[in-house]
Amino acid sequence: MTMEAPAVLWFRRDLRLADHAALLTAAGHSKHLLALYVLDERLLQPAGTPRTAFLLDSLRALDAALGGRLLVRRGDPVREVVAAAREIGASAVHVTADLGPYGRRRDEAVAKALAEHRIEWVATGSPYAVTPGRVTKPDGSPYRVFTPFRRAWDRHGWPRPADTSASTVDWVPPRKSGGIPESPALGGMRQPAAGEAAALEVWQEFLDDGIAHYAEERDRPDHEGTTRMSAYLRWGNIHPRTMLADLAGDSSEGAQALRGELCWREFHADVLWHRPETARENYDRRFDRMRHDTGAPAREAFELWCAGRTGFPIVDAGMRQLLAEGWMHNRVRMVVASFLVKDLHLPWWWGARHFMRHLVDGDLASNQLNWQWVAGSGTDAAPYFRIFNPTTQGQKFDPQGDYVRRYVPELRGVAGKAVHVLKERPEGYPVPMVEHAEERQVALQRYGSITGNS
């Protein structure tokens, strides 16, 4: 490769310029780079409004940082990437590896098509501190349990953030860009600002004010106790290595807990890399025999769950937070997922699909494998007999009821923690759609028949 021949930097889940390993490699090979993004219907179609809006806003921010030099095309990546590379006589296309099931298939097809035109395919880095597949047991097999994975991940370590910025490169002006489409209207939905600058600002604020309280606050949906970095990580507005570097040397409880959460993200990506079929199928194949409810009453129950009208205040608050903000607090994600699987006996993938459509941070690995974790069919799963009681979860993690009142207007007249155990139902608020104690028994019986404990 000569320094004179231009190259393409094809952006995907790495919509930033700082700490960008593929940009560093590309700039080391070519003086002139074309920045490209391809709007791919296969990814846009299932995304839903919040995620699409966040993506398009991230692209606008990236384009601005590049001085308006981002080429945006729409269509089949095989055709569009090859065409964009050929139009400028590129010697190579550089990417950050995308290791999800679709990303791998797509990249193989693009690399093959480029090879036919003698254009090199160069993948550097990944959206993770440690590339999925790299942390294995000594015998080379993948980890199935989080805690030993985390120890091995810590031992493996990761490089320091790559020193990159827009100014190190001569960006080739695009000849005919399709432009970035208008973001879909969010209909009053509250959304954080997208893009690299916003990501770094939110992260810095958290380092200044949040990290000291993270360990005790992260389970409190009524407080702003978590980083809110998930959508930025999803689109690569920030690389996790940047965050880990900022946490390095901090042995406080908060920093340790946060490193652990970032490691969960890496663990799930690693699992999906080894077992791509777990995006749709049970990781633990014994659960293929699990009896789910799927008929017309089940579909009605599902609709009530989606709308946040179950009659269980913490569940309804969570489901309505999802619709209002495209985001839900982690503790409540676990509670509503448990409710769908263990109180309503519905298939986990119904809930996972609803989450993927509405979450601004919807990520195949984190979503599907967290759902499976709650359902018991995943790696390192919660024991089958651990069934969240939605009422006591509410009392424990939303002790004053503030979270519930924020998202369920019908309950705003009920003061304090009484909101979790309603003596009377305020007008318009539904009665509980099931009796938790009874459904718990049904779940125990069904789970027991799978795991041999009944």
Amino acid in position 316? D
Taking the complex as a whole, the smallest distance from the CB of residue 234 to ligand FAD amounts, in Å, to 6
Per-residue string for binding with ligand FAD, 234-273, x by CB under 6 A?
x--------------------------xx-xx--x-----
Is 230 a known ligand-binding residue? Answer: yes
Least distance (Å) from ligand FAD to the CB of residue 372? 9
Residue 21 binding ligand FAD, by CB under 6 A: no
How far apart, in Å, are the Cα atoms of 83 and each of 120, 121, 172, 227?
A: 14, 14, 15, 40
CA distances from 277 to 101, 110, 126, 280, 380 (A): 8, 22, 20, 6, 17
110 vs 229, beta carbon nearer ligand FAD: 229
User: According to the binding rule CB under 6 A, does residue 377 interact with ligand FAD?
Assistant: no
Residues 6+ apart with CB under 8 A from 94: 7, 8, 9, 10, 22, 23, 25, 26, 29, 33, 122, 123, 124
The region, left, alpha or beta by phi > 0 then psi within -120 to 50, assigned to residue 320 is alpha
**Inter-residue contact 301 to 344 (CB < 8 Å):** yes
Q: Which is nearer to ligand FAD, 224 or 293 (CB)?
A: 224
Is residue 342 at the binding interface for ligand FAD, with CB under 6 A as the rule? no
Is 214 marked as binding a ligand? yes
Q: 39 near 72, Cβ under 8 Å?
A: yes
- Asked if 371 contacts 337 with a C-beta cutoff of 8 angstroms, the reply is yes
Measured from the CB atom, the residue of 29 and 292 that comes closer to ligand FAD is 292
Is 452 a known ligand-binding residue? Answer: no
Closest approach of Cβ 330 to ligand FAD, in Å?
Answer: 3
325 touches ligand FAD (CB under 6 A): no
Give 13 or 234: the residue with its C-beta nearer to ligand FAD.
234
- Per CB under 6 A, the segment of 17-25, 220-228, 276-284, 379-387 that binds ligand FAD is 220-228
Asked whether residue 361 is marked as a ligand-binding residue, the answer is: yes
Segment lying near ligand FAD (by CB under 6 A), choices 115-123, 187-195, 281-289, 354-362: 354-362
Query: From residue 335, how far is each of 57, 326, 440 by CA, in Å?
Result: 31, 17, 14
Task: Work out the burial of residue 321: count CB atoms within 10 Å of its CB; fewer than 13 is exposed, 13-18 middle, 19 or more buried.
Answer: buried
Number of residues that bind ligand FAD (CB under 6 A): 27
- Residue 91: CB minimum distance to ligand FAD, A: 35
Q: Is 233 in the site for ligand FAD (CB under 6 A)?
A: yes
Q: Is 84 in the site for ligand FAD (CB under 6 A)?
A: no
- Spatial separation of the C-alpha atoms in residues 76 and 88, rounded to whole Å: 19
Interacting span for ligand FAD (CB under 6 A) from 26-34, 193-201, 365-373, 446-454: 365-373
CB of 363 to ligand FAD, least distance (A): 4
The least CB distance from residue 128 to ligand FAD, in Å, is: 10
The interface region with ligand FAD, picked from 177-185, 248-256, 368-376, 424-432 by CB under 6 A, is 368-376
Give the CA angle between residues 307, 309, 315 to the nearest 5°: 90
Residue 67, Cβ density class (10 Å: 0-12 exposed, 13-18 middle, ≥19 buried): exposed
Residue 346 and residue 302 in contact, taking contact as beta carbons nearer than 8 Å = yes
C-alpha span between 10 and 23 (Å, rounded): 10
Residue 355 sits in the site that holds ligand FAD (CB under 6 A): yes
Q: How far is the C-alpha of 210 from the C-alpha of 255, rounded, in Å?
A: 10
Q: Which residues are documented as binding site for FAD?
A: 214, 226-230, 361-363
The site for ligand FAD (CB under 6 A) is made up of 218, 226-230, 233-234, 261-262, 264-265, 268, 330, 333-334, 337, 355, 359, 361-363, 366-367, 370-371, 374
